[in-house]
Amino acid sequence: MLEIIKQPWPWYIAGPLIGLTVPALLILGNKSFGISSSLRHICASCLPANIPFFQYDWKKEVWNLFFVFGIFLGGAIAINLLSNPNPIDVHPKLAEELTEYGITNYNNLIPLDIMNWQSLFTLKGFLIMVFGGFLVGFGTRYAGGCTSGHAIMGLSNLQLPSLIATISFMIGGFIMANLLLPLILSL
């Protein structure tokens, strides 16, 4: 049984399990699925300043903080107890393309050639980690939620804004992966 848990699950099993989170949250507690709002709840609970954005009853949303902590705890358990010690198989064509950009160390799915403290202080590292992180945070706030909130919760509720946001996320992802990332990696 443990070997089954250690292997990647196919989309037709993992997808429905993620999708069933939405009705489970709605049925069990009339709660909506989303992760990005948890940062607001943390800030509202920790910042005593009179910032209007954080002036609300965050204690009603404390369940969300437990949910996010559960995700963190599950990740910690998975990496420490359930991780697969074998090298990750990367398609030869992708490995060749990554090598062209100088990325050769990607055994743990994190390209350590660009995701490290030394790279942070280079133009490429700054663009990927700092500016990219800012854009993700800004986009999440501007869109009124993250990809999981819109694509999983919003679409299941047939919300038009979530459909527009999800289509925009996908278009932005395609543009980034196929046009901008190769430019940034070639710096």
Give the mean pLDDT per block of 10 residues along the chain (187 residues). 77 88 85 80 81 84 88 89 77 87 76 84 88 86 82 86 92 92 85
Render pLDDT for 4-16 as a digit per residue (tens, 0 to 9).
Answer: 777 778 889 988 8
**Spans of all domains in the chain:** 90-187
Report the candidate in 80, 78, 128, 84 with the shortest Cα–Cα distance to residue 103. Answer: 128
DSSP character at residue 106 = -
Render pLDDT for 54-91 as a digit per residue (tens, 0 to 9).
Answer: 888 888 888 888 888 998 999 898 888 887 777 777 88
Neighbour-count burial for 63-72, b at 16+ CB within 10 Å, e otherwise: ebeebbeeee
How many C-beta atoms surround the C-beta of residue 89 within 10 A? 7
CA–CA gap between residue 78 and residue 11 (Å, rounded): 19
